[in-house]
Structure 1
Amino acid sequence: MVFFFATAGIMFQDITTLLLDPKAFKDTIDLFVERYKGKNISVVAGIEARGFIFGPPIALAIGAKFVPLRKPKKLPGKVISQEYILEYGRDCLEMHVGAVEPGERALVVDDLIATGGTLCAAMDLLERVGAEVVECACVIELPELKGRERLNGKPLYVLVEYVEI
């Protein structure tokens, strides 16, 4: 994994090295697909921006639609918004009105869970329109930041736990 600082004092994990290895990237997608096929998931909601990398191939493979959850003012048309707090400020996610119908079963996908704020905002958006969030899925978890605890018992599936030594 490559580390870089996008905001002073905040360390980010970057999945670029995974994407540079076609076999490792395919294997990653396959692990998620194996877990979610046959679970009647109709919506894969990907969080901007790296959830857009993993979400669409998972959605295609399990026969679900992909719904992008974007930063403010990036989606055309009518949207609903959910503001949330990050460890370094505030942010917001938006989703098209009508993209998800009441009763649909949703999977939330992102590259990483740190403090859990972004995943909570995504779940709030989906649940506000009546979707059932089945699970959240991330490639990496930073367990020392306790993001899993903020998910209020919602299942979280991760492939790698990153612990700094």
Structure 2
Amino acid sequence: MTIIVRRIGSGEALERAEPLAQALSDVLIDCVEGGASVSFMLPLARAKALAFWHGVLQGAERGERVLLVAQTSEGRIVGTVQLITALPDNQPHRADIAKMLVHRDARRRGVAAQLMAAVDHTAREQGKTVLVLDTVTGGDAERLYQRAGWQTVGVVPNYALMPDGAYCGTTFMHKQL
């Protein structure tokens, strides 16, 4: 599978909001149904997923975040990650990484690694030197981030819930660019 990672530009976020929100909702719903703890609980209604992505696209339009997508050569979105840049005045050098998602049928093909490399590149272009994220403790994503050079800051037990309602620990990580 050939994957292209690209940024959703502000004009595109506005002009193609509905088809983008639909495609991104497909990825989000699949991840939640697959057990990913990414702020949503089961069952995740499509309307809730769409509302979330419309908000993200509006944030991208306003320049508050950068939205990257991984697409197949046929144009299907199979992954996404966000670089949140709207932070307090005393943190112009920092950004948060959020909602790194890969559809289950595209996993184990390097999509997540491509997304993380692209988000690093984008952060550098934006003048960011410190990146921060959180992830489920002991999960596949934590190992991915470690391989990509992220350092663990600490773990908070029972910080969040899995989509099925079970508690999970959260690992906070940072990367110095």
The bucket for the TM-score relative to the shorter chain is 0.3 to 0.5
More strand by share: 1
Higher relative contact order (CA 8 A, sep 6+): 2
